[in-house]
Amino acid sequence: MPVRIPVSGGASMPAVGLGLWKVADADAPALVREAARLGYRHLDSACDYGNEAAVGAGIRAALDDK
Protein backbone atom coordinates (compact mmCIF):
# COMPACT_ATOMS: atom_id res chain seq x y z
CA MET A 1 0.00 0.00 0.00
CA PRO A 2 1.38 3.46 -0.89
CA VAL A 3 2.52 5.70 1.94
CA ARG A 4 0.06 8.50 2.68
CA ILE A 5 0.46 11.72 4.65
CA PRO A 6 -2.38 12.88 6.92
CA VAL A 7 -3.75 16.36 6.25
CA SER A 8 -6.41 18.45 7.95
CA GLY A 9 -9.93 17.16 8.33
CA GLY A 10 -8.85 13.54 8.56
CA ALA A 11 -7.95 13.25 4.87
CA SER A 12 -4.63 12.05 3.51
CA MET A 13 -2.56 12.49 0.37
CA PRO A 14 0.00 10.27 -1.36
CA ALA A 15 3.57 10.80 -0.13
CA VAL A 16 5.00 10.61 -3.66
CA GLY A 17 3.80 13.01 -6.32
CA LEU A 18 4.63 14.04 -9.84
CA GLY A 19 6.36 17.42 -9.93
CA LEU A 20 5.31 19.50 -12.92
CA TRP A 21 7.67 22.47 -12.56
CA LYS A 22 9.55 23.13 -15.83
CA VAL A 23 7.50 20.55 -17.74
CA ALA A 24 6.94 21.99 -21.20
CA ASP A 25 3.39 22.54 -22.44
CA ALA A 26 4.03 20.15 -25.32
CA ASP A 27 5.03 17.35 -22.92
CA ALA A 28 2.58 17.88 -20.06
CA PRO A 29 -0.61 16.24 -21.41
CA ALA A 30 1.03 12.91 -22.25
CA LEU A 31 3.13 12.94 -19.08
CA VAL A 32 0.14 13.57 -16.81
CA ARG A 33 -1.99 11.00 -18.65
CA GLU A 34 0.68 8.33 -18.32
CA ALA A 35 1.32 9.19 -14.67
CA ALA A 36 -2.38 8.75 -13.92
CA ARG A 37 -2.37 5.43 -15.77
CA LEU A 38 0.53 4.32 -13.57
CA GLY A 39 -1.36 5.26 -10.40
CA TYR A 40 -0.14 8.76 -9.54
CA ARG A 41 -2.79 10.76 -7.72
CA HIS A 42 -0.64 13.61 -6.37
CA LEU A 43 0.27 16.19 -9.00
CA ASP A 44 2.49 19.01 -7.74
CA SER A 45 1.46 22.02 -9.79
CA ALA A 46 1.08 25.77 -9.47
CA CYS A 47 -0.06 28.70 -11.57
CA ASP A 48 3.49 30.05 -11.48
CA TYR A 49 4.64 27.02 -13.51
CA GLY A 50 2.74 28.40 -16.50
CA ASN A 51 1.66 24.97 -17.76
CA GLU A 52 -1.70 24.64 -16.05
CA ALA A 53 -3.72 24.45 -19.30
CA ALA A 54 -1.53 21.63 -20.63
CA VAL A 55 -1.65 19.80 -17.28
CA GLY A 56 -5.44 20.16 -17.34
CA ALA A 57 -5.52 18.61 -20.80
CA GLY A 58 -3.60 15.63 -19.43
CA ILE A 59 -6.00 15.28 -16.52
CA ARG A 60 -8.99 15.42 -18.90
CA ALA A 61 -7.40 12.75 -21.09
CA ALA A 62 -6.74 10.53 -18.06
CA LEU A 63 -10.36 10.90 -16.94
CA ASP A 64 -11.56 10.00 -20.44
CA ASP A 65 -9.50 6.79 -20.17
CA LYS A 66 -11.54 5.64 -17.16
Residues belonging to the active site: 49
Contacts (Cβ under 8 Å, ≥6 apart) of 61:
29, 32, 33
Query: What DSSP state is assigned to residue 44?
Result: E
* Strand residues in the chain grouped as ranges (E): 4-6, 12-14, 18-19, 43-44
